[in-house]
């Protein structure tokens, strides 16, 4: 009995240690992504005359996520999470170096190539939340996702702080920021060595495993469809507004430092709620949290439409981050209940393929619409996107309610 208790305690300790280290990797790795968002548009406009394309390297990063997510997931299925995540860090180093070279030589296509390469690193980074689920018991899923996502709080401090400190340290502006991104990925590569992940393949047992279903059969489940749509809207709207906000802020005559500060508040809004989002999902239910997330996103748009002062930007982008958190963590929790162990690589990859396909489109349109139409039309367009997520979650709520009532009516 005593030996059993010691073993259980040891397993709990190992679980917490692995989850903590994964959170550290999320915090540090996400800071590189935050630096990319902060620096890219503002660095491109220093040498490239077509400002409507200023967010294109970020768009290429999202496109890279969409293109790389299936190869990254299948590599992890075959070689394990640790190996796959470390390959992601290597791509992060190469991508940051390429972006920095593009800026140094004033070569816009090279910066776009760097964004595409960085897409693999971000594709790997996004899978941390799925890896967190595999480190804990089933009833701890929401909290594990929430805790790892909370690593973004540190990222929200590190990323803008490094960008603010480094943007004028070397010429051209923001060149030192891209060099700092390389160091960030080196740290993640190193820390990842100390995390013990369970095998991706289920161990052999006397009970035959259920055969994997086709992607269409998985995707046609109401829970999967609603959760993916909600994730697409959460990330798409967030990227739409965050990508354009630095250009809008500077375009209104506010200083570059204000753009860094707004991005900091936005990232805090994205990740600070993660300390309690998991508990909130357990208390009031995942669909209610997702409804709340959509409502907060709409309130952020309302704040943006009320004016162009620094406080309008600060409140709008902060609420945008909080709404993203509730909708995205809720949707991720929901999607992890939709697939069998043998299906997780392709189910997770399909989710991120669709999410980042939307995000790539949104980030490209952000720079274009901000340059051609302005900040207010951009926010007005976001209202329609957010309402799509409300319809999707409401549809799932009706589906689940009808399923619950069916046995009583029979």
Long-range CB pairs of 198-205, under 8 A, 24+ apart, other chains included: 198/134, 198/135, 199/80, 200/76, 200/77, 200/78, 200/80, 200/81, 200/344, 200/345, 201/77, 202/341, 202/342
The pLDDT score that the predictor gives to residue 333 is: 85
Pull the structure tokens for residue 50. Answer: 């077509």
Question: In the CATH scheme, what architecture does the domain 12-197+215-409 have?
Answer: Up-down Bundle (1.20)
Pull the structure tokens for residue 225. Answer: 């469809």
The H or E element containing residue 335 is helix 310-335
Asked if residues 41 and 367 have their Cβ atoms less than 8 Å apart, the reply is yes
- pLDDT values of the chain reduced to their tens digit, one per residue, 410 residues: 434 434 344 447 778 888 889 988 988 888 888 888 778 878 888 888 887 777 788 888 878 888 888 888 889 888 888 999 999 999 999 999 999 999 999 999 999 999 999 999 998 988 888 888 888 887 777 788 888 877 877 877 888 788 878 877 788 888 889 999 999 999 999 999 898 888 765 544 444 557 778 888 888 888 898 899 998 888 888 877 887 787 788 888 888 778 878 888 888 888 888 888 888 888 888 899 999 999 999 999 999 999 888 898 999 999 999 999 999 888 988 888 888 877 877 888 888 888 877 877 776 777 677 777 788 888 888 898 899 889 988 988 888 777 766 665 45
Cα(274)–Cα(279) distance, integer angstroms = 9
Asked if residues 287 and 142 have their Cβ atoms less than 8 Å apart, the reply is no
The pLDDT score that the predictor gives to residue 8 is: 43
How many CB atoms are closer than 10 A to CB 217? 11
In 3D space, the residue among 244, 268, 264 whose CA is nearest the CA of residue 380 turns out to be 244
What DSSP state is assigned to residue 306? T
- Alpha-carbon torsion 281, 282, 283, 287, what sign? positive
Cα(406)–Cα(290) distance, integer angstroms = 25
Asked if residues 325 and 194 have their Cβ atoms less than 8 Å apart, the reply is no
The pLDDT score that the predictor gives to residue 208 is: 52
Cα(209)–Cα(157) distance, integer angstroms = 44
In 3D space, the residue among 395, 362, 404 whose CA is nearest the CA of residue 225 turns out to be 395
User: How many Å separate Cα 19 from the centre of its chain?
Assistant: 18
Q: Which residue has the tokens 């790539």?
A: 360
Asked if residues 35 and 246 have their Cβ atoms less than 8 Å apart, the reply is no
Asked if residues 135 and 19 have their Cβ atoms less than 8 Å apart, the reply is yes
Provide φ and ψ at 223, rounded to 5°.
Answer: -65, -45
In 3D space, the residue among 273, 12, 270, 20 whose CA is nearest the CA of residue 155 turns out to be 270
């Amino acid at each position: 009995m005593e030996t059993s208790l010691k073993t259980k305690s040891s397993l709990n300790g190992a679980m917490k240690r692995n989850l903590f280290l994964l959170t550290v990797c999320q915090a540090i790795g996400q800071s590189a992504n935050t630096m990319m968002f902060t620096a890219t548009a503002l660095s491109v406009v220093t040498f490239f005359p077509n400002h409507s394309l200023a967010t294109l390297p970020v768009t290429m990063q999202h496109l890279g996520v969409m293109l790389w997510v299936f190869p990254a997931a299948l590599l992890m299925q075959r070689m394990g999470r640790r190996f796959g995540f470390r390959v992601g860090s290597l791509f992060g180093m190469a991508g940051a170096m390429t972006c920095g070279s593009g800026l140094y030589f004033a070569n816009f296509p090279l910066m776009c190539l760097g964004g595409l390469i960085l897409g693999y690193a971000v594709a790997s980074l996004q899978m941390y939340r799925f890896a967190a689920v595999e480190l804990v018991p089933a009833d701890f899923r929401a909290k594990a996702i929430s805790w790892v996502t909370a690593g973004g709080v540190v990222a929200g401090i590190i990323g803008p702080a490094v960008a603010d400190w480094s943007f004028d340290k070397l010429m051209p502006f923001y060149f030192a920021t891209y060099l700092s991104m390389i160091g960030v990925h080196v740290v993640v590569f190193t820390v990842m060595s100390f995390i013990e992940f369970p095998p991706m393949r289920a161990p052999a047992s006397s009970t035959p495993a259920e055969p994997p279903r086709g992607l269409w059969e998985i995707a046609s489940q109401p829970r999967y469809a609603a959760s993916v749509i909600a994730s697409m809207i959460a990330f798409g709207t967030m990227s739409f507004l965050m990508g354009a906000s630095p250009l809008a802020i500077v375009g209104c005559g506010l200083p570059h430092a204000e753009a860094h500060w707004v991005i900091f508040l936005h990232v805090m809004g994205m990740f600070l709620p993660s300390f309690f989002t998991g508990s909130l999902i357990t208390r009031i239910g995942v669909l209610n949290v997702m409804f709340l997330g959509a409502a907060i996103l709409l309130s952020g748009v309302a704040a943006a439409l009320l004016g162009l002062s620094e406080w309008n930007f600060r409140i709008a982008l902060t609420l945008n981050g909080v709404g993203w958190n509730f909708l995205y963590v809720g949707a991720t929790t929901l999607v992890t209940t939709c697939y069998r162990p043998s299906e997780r690589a392709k189910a997770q990859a399909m989710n991120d393929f669709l999410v980042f396909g939307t995000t790539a489109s949104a980030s490209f349109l952000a720079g274009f619409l901000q340059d051609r139409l302005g900040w207010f039309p951009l926010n007005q367009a976001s209202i329609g996107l957010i309402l799509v997520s409300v319809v999707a979650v409401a549809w799932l709520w009706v589906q689940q309610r009808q399923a619950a009532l069916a046995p009583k009516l029979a």
